[in-house]
Amino acid sequence: MLETLLWIVRRDVTIAMRRRTDIFITLVFFIIVVSLFPLGIGPELETLRLIAPGVLWVGALLASMLALEQMFSADHRDGTLEQMLLTPQPLSLLVIGKVIAHWLITGLPLVIMSPLLALQYDMSGEALRVMIYSLMLGTPTLSLLGAIGAALTLGLRSGGVLVALLVLPLYIPVLIFGAGAVEATASGLGGQAHLSMLGAILLLALLGTPLATAAALRVSTD
């Protein structure tokens, strides 16, 4: 089972590296969204520090949604997904592999780029550290929850719009606790409670979303 999981991850990452444009689009979108706010609001440092957590988290959330539609659609078009459904391995295991690959392609670059973009907002070192922790916990949850929407809209027209409508309500708790952890740290209250909630949400998502996504894939491919 572990070999199957690693094979799926390697396969999806290899395919993504051959189409680097998709990765760059997500990253460039994140950079543009986060960088436009200081230009529009002005150089007032106190205001920039205040809005930084929300801006960075909203930018990461929107950027991670760009590649959701492609999580299963390419395999669905060329028939690979149907072959995966026939394998003796649990379909939820295949889903986990696809989600890990999606996070490595989209979520991890956002986490790496976020400290550099946060310098525009004059964030403190402690706030930067907590922001990285929150994104490390929150972005995998976004990929897990987004997989459900991608599976439900598989093969439909305007699937990207439908995915956004389906997953945005599910993303709200992650956004609240992710931005709240950084805000609490910046105000001196400490963000440990918010990070704990993000960890709990990630654990629940790991337990429930692979099964829900597998069921949605079976419905969409029937």
> What per-residue confidence (pLDDT) applies to 222?
67
Q: Give the helix ranges, DSSP H, for 67-158.
A: 70-78, 80-86, 91-102, 108-118, 125-152
Which residue from 82, 78, 86, 96 is spatially nearest to 211, judged by alpha carbons?
96
pLDDT classification of 187: cutoffs 50, 70, 90 = confident
Residue 56 · residue 128 · CB < 8 Å: no
Amino acid at 65: M
Measured CA to CA, the distance from residue 181 to residue 213 in angstroms comes to 29
- Between the CA of residue 216 and those of 148, 180, 194, 209, 222, what are the distances in Å? 7, 32, 31, 10, 10
SS (HEC) of 120-141: HHCCCHHHHHHHHHHHHHHHHH
Q: What is the pLDDT of residues 116-154, one digit of tens each?
A: 888 888 888 888 889 999 999 999 999 999 888 888 887
CA angle 86, 89, 93 (to 5 degrees): 115
Residue 184 · residue 165 · CB < 8 Å: no
pLDDT classification of 174: cutoffs 50, 70, 90 = very high
Q: What is the pLDDT of residues 37-86, one digit of tens each?
A: 888 887 788 888 888 888 899 998 988 888 787 777 777 777 777 777 77
The interaxial angle of helices 20-41 and 45-66, nearest 10 deg, is 160
Residue 110 · residue 84 · CB < 8 Å: no
Measured CA to CA, the distance from residue 97 to residue 123 in angstroms comes to 35
Domain boundaries, the chain: 2-221
Q: What is the pLDDT of residues 52-65, one digit of tens each?
A: 888 899 998 988 88
> What per-residue confidence (pLDDT) applies to 11?
84
